Amino acid sequence: MTHTAASNEKLNEALAHLNEAAKESREELQALLANGYTDLKAAIGSAAHTSSDWVKEKSKEAGETATMAATAVDHSVRKHPWYYIGGAALSGLVIGLLISGRRQ
């Protein structure tokens, strides 16, 4: 075998090793990216789920607070209806005076 043929053979072997290493590296990189994407997707999904739960919880709390306030007002109106009738009449009188005062 000549010196040139031996050099070509060694060069071909080296290129084959480089191609094999590049193929393995590419497969490892693809697996790493796929795992990273899966982890990122899971983290974002978890954060969205957590914020969704928080919004639902706060909405429920706001509804309960509004219900409690409405119940308290209803109880107060039923206990002292004339206070509220007088307040409504007084408010109507003041608004009527303000409106009629602007026309003059």
Give exposure, 31-49, as e/b (b: 16+ Cβ within 10 Å).
eeeeeeeeeeeeeeeeeee
Position 25, amino acid: S
For residue 16, the model assigns a pLDDT of 75
79, 77, 98: which is closest to 88 by C-alpha?
Answer: 77
Q: The domain containing residue 78 runs over which residues?
A: 3-103
Burial class, 86, CB count within 10 angstroms (exposed 0-12 / middle 13-18 / buried 19+): exposed
What's the chain's Rg over C-alpha atoms?
40
Alpha-carbon distance of 99 to 104, in angstroms, equals: 10
Q: What is the pLDDT along the chain (104 residues), one digit of tens a residue?
A: 566 777 777 777 777 777 777 777 777 777 766 766 677 777 777 766 677 777 888 888 898 999 999 999 899 889 988 988 898 899 999 998 888 876 65
CB 86 within 8 A of CB 93: no
Counted domains in the chain:
1
